[in-house]
Structure 1
Amino acid sequence: MSALLKHPLQLGLYHTLVTTHLPIRHLRISASAWTIASRESSIPQRYIGQPTSYTHQHLLRDDEITPGITAQEFRGRRHNLMSGIKKSMYSDCPHHVAVILAADTKYMTDEIPYPFRQNTDFLYLCGFQEPSSALVLESIAGSPLPDHKATVFVPQRDADRELWDGPRAGIDGALSFIGVDEAHVISDLSEYLDQYASREKLVVWYDVFRNVNSHLHKDVVSNLVTPCRNKGHAVNILQQLMHSIRVIKSPAEIQLMRESCSIASQAFVDVMRFTKPNINEANLYAKMDFEVRLNGAEFLAYPPVVAGGNRANTLHYVKNNQIVLGGDMVLMDAGCEYHGYASDITRTWPVSGRYTEAQASLYQSVLDVQQECLDMCEVGTTLDQIYHRMLNGLGQKLQDLGIVPKWMNNAELIRAAKKYCPHHVGHYLGMDTHDTPQVSRSNQLQAGIVITVEPGLYLPASDNDIPQEFRGMGIRIEDDVLITDRAPEVLTAECPKEMSLIESIMGGNL
């Protein structure tokens, strides 16, 4: 490795190297000269490939790396991860190294990329938005965990590529902006990882079976995982520990999720007002997408379900290209992503503006069960327990509606509920829509966790066992819920679900 670049004034040398295309791949920068107090002055005075307080003053404060999340919080996240490693079964091992990769760019066809979305574990730890980067966290010799060194590897600045793809942070921009200890170009990653196999008593933390970046994954396996295994070092999966940390949301994350849920809730109201008989599902999709973006979200959090009539009985219907007839209901499952945090809402409403008697009785049954589930959302309960409450409630409602026979016992009612609601009651929510999947639904809920609660009943038109008046109906009602030390906070409370409110909105009265 070459000499250290120790002071921001020396960045003039770096600028010269970039603009004259001299080789800089071995340049290493030390963060030791850049203190927290000097962060404001060290933020690059140029575009670096993602918003900064210099280029996007309307989005970020000087102390923020991503909107709403400060550099101090990102440091705290890395500290928490290394604290978790310290508490693991490998706590007596003196050397640890964790590698987290950024996602790579996906292409729909030659030179035409899909919109880039960063690997959320990587984004959570450092806030860096560029593809094909890497973060290495390692213990410091002679210093106990959670003390560690954080090193980021980023794409080299390249005037030709930046002409096409936009500006890159480079090692100076990455180091000064995200506040790690060292920064290198990504082409140095393999050589950097070579050093670890020769160490005594090392534990490697890397998600070997989760390939988020094909090229870099091969480098990590070839230069770190395989040599370390051959030397007898332990290689441990990182994601389970990561998700156990990510599932508890900080106050800043909760505020971002409140805003995400508020934007999506208001968009639902606008879509309901926009609905009319014989409308195309695609128009409702477009209206939802338009409204969330207009009100500050970056994009929809996932491909939405916009299912009219019997199509609501296809749980992940995303074709969204049919006409919704006047007597049908439409089920919409949609949410937005706001500065990296998702919302996830489902509502079902009548295209005509009023529920029929059969639609109203089925809808109210689902709504009643959802309220029972919401009442259970407290510290110490589990998602699985709420799920069993949902099955019991739906089974009883099916019997009350005459959809299943009166003679069925409780076990048979549970089976019927599973038939007509084949999904779980909910999932964790956060940076991903189905967030932290390594956290079991049997874990007790804690304050700071956000979950969805989404009971439904799906009665296909082809099921002749169902009374005629209910066939072809599919209803789901989904809200996002923050677990607190007190009563649960329904983050999507602004999105109406009482039938009288929905009918008033569609009638132009609200």
Structure 2
Amino acid sequence: MAVFLRNTGNGVCVRLTKVWNRAICRTDLIVCHQRHTYSSSPQIQSQLKTTAKKVSIPTRNLGQPTPYTHPHLMKYGDVTPGIGAAEFVQRRTKLMSEIGKLSASEKGKKHIVVVPSHPKMYMTDEIPYPFRQSTDFLYLCGFQEPDSILILESLPDRHLPAHKATLLVPKRDAHRELWDGPRSGTQGATDFIGVDVAYENGGLAEFLEQLSQHNNIVLWYDFLKPTHPEFHNKIMKQLILPVRNAGNAIKTLEETLHRMRVIKSPAEQELMRQSASIASHAFINVMKFSTPLINESDIYARIDYECRIHGAEFLAYPPVVAGGNRANILHYVNNNQIVKPDELILMDAGCEYHGYASDITRTWPVSGKFTPPQRTLYEVVLDVQMKCLEMCSLPNITLDQIYNSMLKMLGCHLQDLGILSRQLDEMDTLKHASKYCPHHVGHYLGMDTHDTPRVPRSVNLQPGMVITVEPGVYIPLSDTNAPSEYRGIGIRIEDDVLITKDGTAEILTSQCPKQVKDIENLFSGTMFPW
């Protein structure tokens, strides 16, 4: 047996113990929670110190990457690439602490949290869609297999956030694994994921029925937005109905989880930097690749290729690749037309890197040179966007306030260009400006592209939040109120912004060119000549 210590660099110290016998070589990790904790609450820190758990790295393929099978992606201590076992414990503990705060007036209650995974979805008989895990489930445990369910229970005679974490997972099945790939099974789930106990999901109904027998239950489950229809039916029958009939409370979880998820940990911030960097460089190569008369589908294929070849798992959402007047269709995803030599291309795309999304929009002339009307409108949008980015560093600022300022600035610019009348009062100017930019200035970004929608855009921006800033101007060919030279032009410029711990804005996508001269130099070969 060999024992040595290793610092993983994420604030997690691990003790690696290699054990050899006739049958196995297993690497065990003792996860010690030392620094970069998710909360400074003494109550949470106390709980973390008492829940340091032995986490094993099985020396076989599981249903997801591990440091043993994917050492090029993960280091020891990771449950998902870049996120250590300690952080998942901290997230679950933080959730139970928040539940404790929300239930401070309810003494003697047993709190049960139920978070299902996604099921596997099929496009036709036996042909599955690529699997993407339920975000809240993945955030809390890191388990990447379908048809699983996480259950957190408060403990008798102990105060929250003390809890027990149970995972129900698919049974190991040699026949199904032949077709679908390895499964972790209950042993793999407890060893690698680090929950307290795991069971096979075939026993879900019985397990839920046992939970329903407890007295004074408060059940936390998002019954209005079920992620797994089959499990939802069992939860309704075996747990919700008995709990409700006994007069116990049933509460939704989404808002509490979104308030947690909107603040990114240092590890999450680094993953988002990487996601933004990959997408930024992909945009550069796609811009250089585009030429007059190119098909939008070629650009779609190239952005997908560039993101994947540089480490992203896949695109974060179906991209918008819109030439000319099609840029005025905000969610244009057909991406199958020819781009004429005098047209702009608006591309809205991003990648997902180890579970974290980027989201960029750039607009450029396929010829490599803006026409005078295109350049005029582009510089309007760029000016507004730069000023909105500066506002992100202001104290006590919200996305809604930045949005209102965006409309005011756009309204003034559109009046200067003769697109809006100068006779309009302030309210009418805002109203008409919103017709030329009918979407918000931005949204939260994270594990989902439109992340944490239950967090209002009226809350102050806080350190750890990541947002998009994406003003646009859209003037369809059919708009006879606009001067003819601007008709058929749609422009949007979007960057991803991290609010840092000192309250300033870090532009995660700053490597992606957006100044007129930089874009035109890109085509001439004087910028990024590779």
Q: Deviations over 1:167-188 (max 9, x none)?
A: 0000000110000100000111
Structure 1 Cα separation of the partners of residues 198 and 509 of structure 2: 41
Q: Which residue of 2 aligns with 1:440?
A: 456
Query: Does the alignment pair 1:61 with 2:75?
Result: yes
For residues 384 and 130 of structure 2, the distance between their equivalents in structure 1, rounded to whole angstroms, comes to 38
1:451 partner SS:
strand
Q: TM-score, normalised by structure 2?
A: 0.89
Contact 2:222 / 2:254 at 8 angstroms: preserved in 1? yes
Deviations 1:136-165 (A, max 9, x none): 000000110000000000000000000000
SS in structure 2 of the partner of residue 54 of structure 1: coil
- Report the residue type matching 2:178 in the other structure: L
Partner deviation per Cα, 1:289-345 (whole Å, 9 max, x = no partner): 000100000000000000000000000000000000000000000000000000000
Answer yes or no: is the 8 Å Cα contact 2:119–2:228 preserved in 1.
yes
More displaced stretch, 68-77 vs 194-203: 194-203
**Cα shift at 1:232:** 0.5
Within 2, Cα distance between the matches of 1:474 and 1:461? 10
2:399 alignment partner AA: L
What SS does the aligned partner of 1:99 have? strand
State the match for 1:482 in structure 2.
498
Asked whether 1:422 is paired with 2:438, we answer: yes
Match of 1:101 among 107, 116, 141: 116
Residue aligned with 2:322, SS: strand
The separation in 2 between residues aligned to 1:449 and 1:474, in whole angstroms, is: 29
CA distance in structure 2 between the aligned counterparts of 1:167 and 1:117, rounded to whole angstroms: 17
Give 1:19's aligned residue.
none
Cα drift, residue 91 of structure 1: 4.7
- 2-structure distance, mates of 1:496, 1:406: 33
Post-superposition offset of 1:61: 1.0
Report SS of the residue matched to 1:381: coil
Report deviation, 1:507.
Answer: 1.6
Distance 1:91 1:361 in 2: 60
- Inter-partner Cα distance in structure 2 for 1:286 and 1:259: 21
CA contact (8 A) 1:85 1:91 kept: no
Cα distance between partner residues in 2 of 1:486 and 1:112: 47
Kindly indicate whether the alpha-carbon contact (under 8 Å) linking 1:275 and 1:506 is maintained by their aligned counterparts in 2.
no
Q: Does structure 1 conserve the Cα–Cα contact (< 8 Å) formed by 2:123 and 2:129?
A: yes
In the alignment, structure 1 segments of 5+ residues that lack a partner are 1-7, 13-34
Matched AA of 2:511: E
Q: Does 1:44 align with 2:58?
A: yes
User: How many Å apart are 1:36 and its aligned residue?
Assistant: 5.4
Q: In the alignment, residue 425 of structure 1 is paired with which amino acid?
A: V
Cα drift, residue 89 of structure 1: 3.9
Structure 1 residues 90 and 201: CA distance shift in structure 2, 3 A? farther
**Equivalent residues in 2 for 1:484-503 (5 A)?**
484=500, 485-503=502-520
In structure 2, the CA distance between the partners of 1:97 and 1:110, relative to structure 1 (3 Å rule), is same
- Letter in structure 2 aligned against 1:450: V
> TM-score, normalization: structure 1?
0.92
Could you tell me how far apart the structure 1 residues matched to 2:188 and 2:161 are? 26
Q: 1:153 to 1:491 in 2, by over 3 A?
A: same
Q: Residues 196 and 228 of structure 1 are in contact (CA less than 8 Å); yes or no, is this contact kept in structure 2? A: no
Alignment of 1:257-296 (within 5 A): 257-296=272-311
The 5 Å alignment of 1:301-312 reads: 301-312=316-327
Letter in 2 for 1:400: D
RCO higher in structure (CA 8 A, sep ≥6): 1
**Residue 197 (structure 1) shift:** 2.8
Q: 1:204 touches 1:234 (CA, 8 Å); kept in 2?
A: yes
SS at match of 1:149: strand
Unaligned runs of 5+ in 2: 1-18, 24-50
Contact 1:103-1:213 within 8 A present in 2 as well: yes
Correspondence for 1:16: none
Shift in Å at residue 195 of structure 1?
2.2
- Are the equivalent residues in 2 in contact too, given 1:246–1:436 (CA < 8 A)? yes
CA drift at 1:443: 1.2
Q: 1:41-100 deviations in whole A, cap 9, x for unaligned? A: x21110011100110011111100000000000000000100110010455242100000
User: Counterpart in 1 of 2:229?
Assistant: 214
Cα displacement (A) at 1:122:
0.2
Counterpart in 2 of 1:509?
526
Tell me by how many angstroms 1:410 deviates.
1.2
**Which shifted more, 398-407 or 271-280?**
398-407
Give, in whole Å, the separation in 1 of the partners of 2:104 and 2:238: 22
Q: Deviations over 1:232-255 (max 9, x none)?
A: 010000000000000000000000
- Counterparts of 2:140 and 2:503, CA distance in 1: 29
Counterpart code for 1:172: Q
Q: Which residue of 2 aligns with 1:153?
A: 168
Distance change >3 Å, CA 430–CA 509, structure 1 → 2:
same
User: Contact between 2:462 and 2:503, CA under 8 Å: does it hold in 1?
Assistant: no
Distance in structure 2 (CA, Å) of the matches to 1:473 and 1:405: 19
Query: Distance between the aligned counterparts of 2:173 and 2:234, measured in 1?
Result: 22
Q: 1:206 to 1:37 in 2, by over 3 A?
A: closer
SS at match of 1:312: helix
The correspondence of residues 68-217 of structure 1 with structure 2, limited to 5 A, is: 68-89=82-103, 91-93=105-107, 94-217=109-232
Aligned to 2:488: 472
State whether residues 292 and 341 of structure 2, in contact with CA within 8 Å, keep that contact through their aligned partners in structure 1: yes
Is the aligned partner of 1:451 residue 2:451? no
Q: Cα distance, 1:194 vs. partner?
A: 1.1
CA distance in 2, matches of 1:460, 1:117: 36
Structure 1 position 199, deviation (Å): 2.3
Distance 1:348 1:501 in 2: 12
Asked if the contact 2:53–2:194 (Cα under 8 Å) also holds between the matched residues in 1, the reply is no
Letter in 2 for 1:495: C
Superposed CA deviations along residues 413-448 of structure 1, whole A, max 9, x for unmatched, are 101111111101110000000000111111111100
The equivalent residue for 2:389 is 374
| Partner SS for 1:80 | helix
Aligned positions, number: 479
C-alpha distance in 2 between matches for 1:365 and 1:179: 52
Shift of residue 196 of structure 1?
A: 2.9
Question: Aligned-pair RMSD on alpha carbons?
Answer: 1.6
Contact 1:264 1:292 (C-alpha < 8 Å) held by counterparts: yes
Contact 1:197/1:231 (<8 A) preserved: no
Aligned partners of 1:90 and 1:203 also within 8 Å: no
C-alpha separation between the residues in 2 aligned to 1:91 and 1:85? 11
Check if 1:386 corresponds to 2:389: no
Q: Aligned-pair distance for 1:198?
A: 3.0
